[in-house]
Structure 1
Amino acid sequence: MTEESPSRPRRFAPLDPERREKDGNDGPLLKGIVFDVDGTLCEPQNYMFAEMRASLNIEKPTDILDHVYSLPASDQDAAMEKIRTIERNAMRSQKPQVGLVELMEYLDSRGIRKGICTRNFDTPVNHLLTTFLPRHTFHPIVTREFRPPKPSPAGILHIAKQWSVADNWATDDGGQSLIMVGDSIDDMTAGYQAGAATVLLVNEVNAHLATHEHTDLCVRRLDDLIPILEKGFVGQIGWREENADTRAQAEAVLEKQ
């Protein structure tokens, strides 16, 4: 975790400059958003994980990457290739999340940097970007080659550092000027420990994470973030300052389980 965790609930000033001036909002400015890939930029392909565990002859709750890295060095390449083969096959059926393009166009219009922090390897990530977001730039892109992977905050902090250098930020505040958007506990924990605000893209499988202490806010589709960012981000879920509408979104999903 960063040396000084930011106060909760997390807040950012409205991205709408007129609203920011009118309201006199003195909240911190959002400097960038980091996205997970599978289950976040594209629809979940959770069946992959069962296939990976079967190919490696392991069961839950063993972490797939932790298992591979625990193998003798001479066996790691073969094990990793089994995982990559499954991911290559799955990428052919990738489907973009609802509101994906709309959110990215909005972020570009407001000059908000976009990065990626994923446990996938680069081929399916590049396939998704070139297929569904060919006109949009994400940088840096942190993939499986970067270690340690999520739930470590290292990848998000690496992105924050790259952005601070590029933008000549006066101080390096770690991830405190960022939002991490994802769909898993690894995403929420990595963001929280980096000091970033966290947004859960909630679905029937991960709805229980809506009330997790590492989750600041949940949305049901990516473009739900647009009005939130325009008006000023305020984290609610998990910090006892729940907004009724946001809480209702999570509970609506929970009721479907």
Structure 2
Amino acid sequence: MTTPLSKEPRRFAPLGKDGGRLPTLKGIVFDVDGTLCVQQNYMFGQMRSALGITKGTDILDHCHSLPSPQDEAALEKIRAIEREAMVLQEAQPGLVQLMDYLESKNLPKAPVNHLLGKFLEGKKFEPIVTREFRPPKPSPAGILSIAKAWGLVGKDGEGVGEGLIMVGDSIDDMTAGYRAGAATVLLVNEMNAHLAEHEHTDLVISRLDELIKVLENGFVGHIAGGDEGSDLKGRAEGVLRDEKGE
């Protein structure tokens, strides 16, 4: 016997259609490295080597801990490595199709980190939150800053994320979205598959263009059950399945 469901799933009305009482999606925030483009993990080793720091030291924390002008010199070393890596960037499957769809719907979209001009020239992204934005993910600050720029604010005049979706590939992406009050979508791969069951993940896709069907039909996220056995997760195909397989 399953325990009664403890809350409703996150939902948005079908994009561009009357969803009745369902909330309207206001915009989508994307992570870049590993989400819009294929992960380039080798960069981090190059960055640490250039900065003379060990693997256990956070790259940006180290840069920001340096006195001026050493901090800016360290950040420029990082930017130089990123510029070289951008030449070798590979787009994630379905990237252009998804962005064309979002443009056709005039849905605001913004990247957290640098823009993929190599693949998306002419596409409108604003505002752009760079790696240097503080505090970084998993803080929701970057997402809330984007929300405020889009005019999505609460009574206190600060940004609110309830009308947004955060798309990413890491626990920091999922947690930042969750803390901002946004729905979260995980672009799943072999390395992050365990995050599909994480409480901060609302929906899972394996290709970016799978999100088109989700938005067309109306976003439905996971349902948190009274116990782990009855916890249900939204899937890109729009089908909710029981985690027990029942």
**TM-score grouping bracket, smaller chain normalisation:** 0.7 to 0.9
Unaligned runs of 5+ in 1: 1-6, 249-257
Q: 1:210·1:238 contact (CA, 8 Å) conserved in 2?
A: no
Indicate whether 1:229 and 2:215 are aligned. Answer: yes
Once the two structures are superposed, the pairs formed by residues 202-213 of structure 1 within 5 Å of their partners are 202-213=188-199
Structure 2: which amino acid aligns with 1:38?
D
Per-residue deviation, residues 66-118 of structure 1 (Å, max 9, x unmatched) = 12212333421222122122111111101111111111111122221111112
Name the counterpart of 2:148: 161
Q: Among residues 57, 62, 66, which one is paired with 1:62 in the alignment? A: 57
Q: In structure 1, what is the Cα distance between the partners aligned to 2:224 and 2:71?
A: 39
**Structure 1 residues 60 and 177: alpha-carbon distance in aligned structure 2, compared to 1, 3 A threshold:** same
Indicate whether 1:102 and 2:97 are aligned. Answer: yes
Name the counterpart of 1:13: 13
**What TM-score comes out, normalization by structure 2 length?**
0.82
Once the two structures are superposed, the pairs formed by residues 1-257 of structure 1 within 5 Å of their partners are 9-15=9-15, 17=17, 20=18, 25-118=20-113, 120=114, 125=115, 128-129=116-117, 131-164=118-151, 174-236=160-222, 240-243=231-234
Structure 1 counterpart SS, 2:151: helix
Superposed CA RMSD in Å reads 2.7
Q: In structure 1, what is the Cα distance between the partners aligned to 2:183 and 2:206?
A: 17
**What TM-score comes out, normalization by structure 1 length?**
0.78
**Structure 1 residues 8 and 160: alpha-carbon distance in aligned structure 2, compared to 1, 3 A threshold:** farther
Per-residue deviation, residues 119-175 of structure 1 (Å, max 9, x unmatched) = x5xxxx3xx22x21123101111113432222221111111011116x9x9x97601
Structure 2: which amino acid aligns with 1:133?
L
Structure 1 counterpart SS, 2:166: strand
Q: In structure 2, what is the Cα distance between the partners aligned to 1:244 and 1:153?
A: 24
Give the number of the structure whose residues are more often helix, by fraction: 1
Per-residue deviation, residues 206-251 of structure 1 (Å, max 9, x unmatched) = 2222222221111111001011111111112877222477699xxx
Report the count of equivalent residues: 226
Structure 1: which amino acid aligns with 2:141?
A
